[in-house]
A and B are shown apart, each in its own frame.
Chain A
């Protein structure tokens, strides 16, 4: 037998390198592991954060037009947005179209040096949300599925509201749960939280009165003789229990978390009477209900054409929803235990494409972009890293997607040495090991 071989629990022979990679060595093995990633901060035993709200700006928002303005770079870079405004934290300036967000800068920190260098939506979205590069042959789960695995039903979560919720539409081809399997996929609400009623797929259906719901339920109960005969079959029992839980959401109190009409009308106005604004409000309600991971899937940032026209409508909408969410969470004492993570899969090209057919557009830019983090143990009022004078590259303190995700996991009390089960019987680390040639930075230390 070769010395380098280690027998895993399932009788498979694998090399030491693989064993390190899949975390099979156990604690004795970990002693070897200067190989394992140096985390941004020591492992926190107690979780500071209970929930994550991920505001996912699908398409990739321009970093120059949001949290990393470059008025000095000239018109070909900053376009018409050349008057960034001061925030309530001295020295931090952001885009002039975000005045409300500027007043909340003492609640968040801006990472201006996010980088992965990938310019394709699918791949970049995968890397940013899983913390893994795509070429290792595995389909890794995204942060929401990881949190759902670590903090959901398997970890004693008792809520009937699913532990991982996407407001409103799922991310389509992006496989959120990866190798963890469909059990850890998010529940997507569907519908529009700004409409009355807010149709939540499976929970609130327009056109069916409560009386008819109850009549139907009784009819079903009378006709479901097969289920009664197979009483004791584990799958049938599971289906019946699931049905009962589903009715708690449809007819019972558990579904009320989605009823935004219970909120103060003025507060609803502040969030903005649009789908994004009301999604932010819903996210806060879900946090109050104990849901550990909420993604607000917020599309519309892929501005190849007429970037500035789009930004003039998009940013005020974002500004209201995002700033109100931070303030409301803080007012209700929830911000300390809730991570708000906002950003997209990449930034946009700093040099503006003025020519036809783009007419002032910006393209994909994975070389450098921004993410904003708030709450849940992240220190506010900081800027981490910076881009160069034209916003084309990282100037200092690069932050990689795996840095950010391991920080979020830590604050959620998920230990970095945790592994996830792969159907092949492997144990896969949460984030890629240093042994794979992955660089980790300690840039996030200052805000942890």
Chain B
């Protein structure tokens, strides 16, 4: 973890080079808007156009502080390091946001975080209701992460998932066909359509389902001598009979096109070629809409995995244009990330105005929601310099995760903790996006306010002790805690309140610092993406 290591060094350095006596003015209030907000790219043109037709003005563009935190959490699932905050805020380069976006998209942390997202919808977990088993779950996750690191074009990624044969250990992408509780052709179809088409096959007509299921009739599975090894292969004998007529079913795509294949041809390839073709109505749409949903908190189509004719997009033109961009850029997903992140639409303030507060779905201001469970615990671990003891004793082989490994890097969705359960991490049972539940609860607040779990992290925190010993001046302790936790400087008023706490309310410096860190962790500014 880059951030964890740097905090101490930075604090020392900062103390040496500066001894700030007053709290620098911090601009949390997003700067007021002067005239019309500039359109940075096609996204802004299409979003602002729709808003202006409704006579709605978007919120102002957010401050650098808000942008920095938003883009770090959104792209890497991690907080910026102390040094990063200071240098970004001091940087006068007008292109600094764009430069930071490029840097983050190229980072290892980006791959860690997005491998987690894909593992959620591809159901990467060792056990129940689908049984990948630990070794295969790890191998599958590593394969997904490697594809992200290499920025494999998305059509190639999907093709590999859909058409591979081989051992679950040696050809990890075959686990795509194992990460499902039932493996009959209709069940496979459900598990293919949800992540790769954003569609719930359960809602199609029987004829549609039967015609599509038959593409998965020849997926075969067999065991080997190796424990928990399974081979996924093209089984020529596989059949799917129409459940109503009892007769063999013709291969029929969802848009009605029929195919006939010569014997010896794997129908999965025909399916994959149909799916990844540029004219396909689901493939590009699904993935650009999901990326939008993941970055913006709301899909252009909602739920993002429920694409169907009677669930229209909030902004058809925007979605169509994003699809086109993806295809034009040879399915380079990062081109979509870049477009979204560089848009002013992504960079709008999360504070609604009187004029636009009811137009959240039109992206008139940034969508506020609680942080993902994994991101939240990683942030707390980062601030306190602590870790989580993840392990798994069933099923075998036993798995112990080193304590300094981030939670977002966990491969196996079966490995969990009370914190992750309380904060709504998805169990990866169904692959539905709404498995993740980020709604605030009493239990979550109890846990953050007063659990031994969090208290121990704060009270035993070497990172906080280091801040205290490296900074003689109380103001500098306060500033460093603010930067580490909220990624910004305190305002004058906040600084005075905190200083009063150290000098009047609790004169024990260590206790006061722990209490301030505790308070900042419990602000909604900390636990929300905004």
Residue ranges of A at the interface with B (Cβ–Cβ < 8 Å)? 2, 5, 10-15, 121-122, 126, 134-139, 160, 162, 170, 173, 175, 178-179, 181-183, 185, 187-188, 190-191, 199, 201-203, 205-208, 212-213, 215-216, 219-220, 222-227, 229-230, 232-233, 235-236, 238-240, 242-243, 245-247, 249-250, 423-424, 426
7 closest A-B pairs by beta carbon, nearest first, are A202-B446, A226-B525, A137-B181, A239-B440, A246-B445, A227-B524, A12-B203
**In the complex, what distance in Å separates the CA atom of A15 from the CA atom of B242?**
13
B522 touches A170 (CB 8 A): no
> Which residue in B443, B522, B527 is a CB contact (below 8 Å) of A202?
B443
Known A220-B518, A246-B446; further 18 A-B contacts with Cβ < 8 A:
A2-B244, A137-B182, A162-B443, A170-B418, A181-B437, A183-B441, A201-B418, A201-B452, A203-B450, A208-B455, A219-B501, A219-B515, A219-B519, A220-B523, A223-B523, A239-B524, A239-B528, A423-B435
A227 touches B523 (CB 8 A): yes
- Least CB distance from A71 to B in Å reads 35
- Interfacial chain B residues near A199, Cβ < 8 Å: 452
- Least CB distance from B102 to A in Å reads 29
B424 at interface, CB cutoff 8 A: yes
**In the complex, what distance in Å separates the CA atom of A5 from the CA atom of B210?**
14
B439 touches A238 (CB 8 A): yes
B236 at interface, CB cutoff 8 A: no
Query: Which residue of A is nearest B206, CB measured?
Result: A13
Q: A134-B129, A203-B450, A207-B455 are in contact. Are A11 and B519 (CB under 8 A)?
A: no
B453 at interface, CB cutoff 8 A: yes
Query: Which residue of A is nearest B441, CB measured?
Result: A242
Chain B 411-452: CB-based contact to A (< 8 A → 1; otherwise 0): 000101010011011010110101101111111111101111
**In the complex, what distance in Å separates the CA atom of A83 from the CA atom of B86?**
77
B369 at interface, CB cutoff 8 A: yes
B506 at interface, CB cutoff 8 A: yes
- Least CB distance from A93 to B in Å reads 36
- Least CB distance from B428 to A in Å reads 10
B522 touches A220 (CB 8 A): yes
B200 touches A424 (CB 8 A): yes
B450 touches A227 (CB 8 A): no
B160 at interface, CB cutoff 8 A: no
B158 at interface, CB cutoff 8 A: no
- Interfacial chain A residues near B523, Cβ < 8 Å: 220, 223-224, 226-227
CB contacts between A and B, total, < 8 Å: 194
- Interfacial chain B residues near A424, Cβ < 8 Å: 200, 202, 430, 432
**In the complex, what distance in Å separates the CA atom of A160 from the CA atom of B443?**
10
> Which residue in A137, A188, A235, A249 is a CB contact (below 8 Å) of B439?
A235
B203 touches A10 (CB 8 A): yes
Q: A187-B443, A227-B523 are in contact. Are A239 and B370 (CB under 8 A)?
A: yes
Q: A134-B129, A137-B182, A175-B427 are in contact. Are A188 and B418 (CB under 8 A)?
A: yes
A220 touches B206 (CB 8 A): no
- Least CB distance from A8 to B in Å reads 9
B482-530 interface (Cβ within 8 A of A): 494, 497-498, 501, 505-506, 511, 515-516, 518-520, 522-525, 527-528, 530
- Interfacial chain A residues near B522, Cβ < 8 Å: 220, 224, 243
> Which residue in B129, B424, B435 is a CB contact (below 8 Å) of A138?
B129
B205 at interface, CB cutoff 8 A: yes
B437 touches A182 (CB 8 A): yes
**In the complex, what distance in Å separates the CA atom of A186 from the CA atom of B450?**
18
B181 touches A223 (CB 8 A): no
Q: A208-B450, A235-B439, A424-B202 are in contact. Are A219 and B505 (CB under 8 A)?
A: yes
Query: Which residue of A is nearest B455, CB measured?
Result: A205
- Interfacial chain B residues near A208, Cβ < 8 Å: 450, 455
B187 at interface, CB cutoff 8 A: yes
> Which residue in A11, A139, A203, A242 is a CB contact (below 8 Å) of B427?
A139
- Least CB distance from A82 to B in Å reads 35
- Interfacial chain B residues near A188, Cβ < 8 Å: 418
B127 at interface, CB cutoff 8 A: yes
> Which residue in B200, B394, B437, B527 is a CB contact (below 8 Å) of A122?
B394
A242 touches B416 (CB 8 A): no
- Interfacial chain B residues near A14, Cβ < 8 Å: 202
> Which residue in B357, B425, B438, B442 is a CB contact (below 8 Å) of A162?
B442
B434 touches A423 (CB 8 A): yes
Query: Which residue of B is nearest A173, CB measured?
Result: B414
B101 at interface, CB cutoff 8 A: no
- Least CB distance from B479 to A in Å reads 14
A139 touches B439 (CB 8 A): no
B440 touches A230 (CB 8 A): no
**In the complex, what distance in Å separates the CA atom of A232 from the CA atom of B368?**
12
| Subset of 24 A-B contacts with CB under 8 Å | A5-B206, A12-B203, A122-B128, A134-B129, A138-B129, A160-B442, A162-B442, A179-B429, A181-B437, A182-B425, A190-B452, A205-B452, A208-B455, A215-B501, A219-B497, A223-B497, A224-B522, A227-B525, A230-B351, A236-B524, A239-B444, A249-B446, A423-B434, A426-B202
Q: A139-B429, A215-B505, A223-B523 are in contact. Are A134 and B128 (CB under 8 A)?
A: yes
**In the complex, what distance in Å separates the CA atom of A121 from the CA atom of B394?**
10
**In the complex, what distance in Å separates the CA atom of A236 from the CA atom of B519?**
16
B350 at interface, CB cutoff 8 A: yes
Q: A139-B129, A202-B443 are in contact. Are A223 and B203 (CB under 8 A)?
A: no
B497 touches A122 (CB 8 A): no
B409 at interface, CB cutoff 8 A: no
**In the complex, what distance in Å separates the CA atom of A15 from the CA atom of B207?**
12
B279 at interface, CB cutoff 8 A: no
**In the complex, what distance in Å separates the CA atom of A423 from the CA atom of B143?**
29
Q: A179-B430, A183-B437, A219-B501 are in contact. Are A11 and B416 (CB under 8 A)?
A: no
B351 touches A229 (CB 8 A): yes
> Which residue in B435, B440, B453, B519 is a CB contact (below 8 Å) of A220?
B519
B396 at interface, CB cutoff 8 A: no
Q: A202-B446, A219-B516, A235-B368 are in contact. Are A13 and B205 (CB under 8 A)?
A: yes
A232 touches B446 (CB 8 A): no
B440 touches A202 (CB 8 A): no
**In the complex, what distance in Å separates the CA atom of A181 from the CA atom of B437?**
8
B399 at interface, CB cutoff 8 A: no
- Least CB distance from B493 to A in Å reads 8
- Interfacial chain B residues near A138, Cβ < 8 Å: 129
B310 at interface, CB cutoff 8 A: yes
A245 touches B442 (CB 8 A): yes
**In the complex, what distance in Å separates the CA atom of A224 from the CA atom of B524?**
7
Q: A181-B437, A238-B440 are in contact. Are A250 and B449 (CB under 8 A)?
A: yes
> Which of B206, B369, B449, B519 has the largest number of chain A CB atoms within 10 A?
B449
B430 touches A202 (CB 8 A): no
**In the complex, what distance in Å separates the CA atom of A374 from the CA atom of B504?**
57
Query: Which residue of A is nearest B508, CB measured?
Result: A212
A137 touches B414 (CB 8 A): no
**In the complex, what distance in Å separates the CA atom of A188 from the CA atom of B438?**
19
- Interfacial chain A residues near B200, Cβ < 8 Å: 424
Q: A13-B206, A207-B455, A235-B440 are in contact. Are A423 and B445 (CB under 8 A)?
A: no
- Interfacial chain A residues near B421, Cβ < 8 Å: 170, 182, 185
**In the complex, what distance in Å separates the CA atom of A160 from the CA atom of B350?**
31
Chain B 20-49: CB-based contact to A (< 8 A → 1; otherwise 0): 000000001000000000000000000000
- Least CB distance from B157 to A in Å reads 26
- Interfacial chain A residues near B244, Cβ < 8 Å: 2
Q: A2-B244, A182-B421, A201-B451 are in contact. Are A222 and B497 (CB under 8 A)?
A: yes
- Interfacial chain A residues near B445, Cβ < 8 Å: 239, 242-243, 245-246
- Least CB distance from A437 to B in Å reads 16
A216 touches B442 (CB 8 A): no
**In the complex, what distance in Å separates the CA atom of A134 from the CA atom of B131?**
12
- Interfacial chain B residues near A201, Cβ < 8 Å: 418, 446-447, 451-453
B459 at interface, CB cutoff 8 A: yes
**In the complex, what distance in Å separates the CA atom of A208 from the CA atom of B450?**
9
B446 touches A236 (CB 8 A): no
**In the complex, what distance in Å separates the CA atom of A75 from the CA atom of B451?**
50
**In the complex, what distance in Å separates the CA atom of A247 from the CA atom of B446?**
8
A205 touches B437 (CB 8 A): no
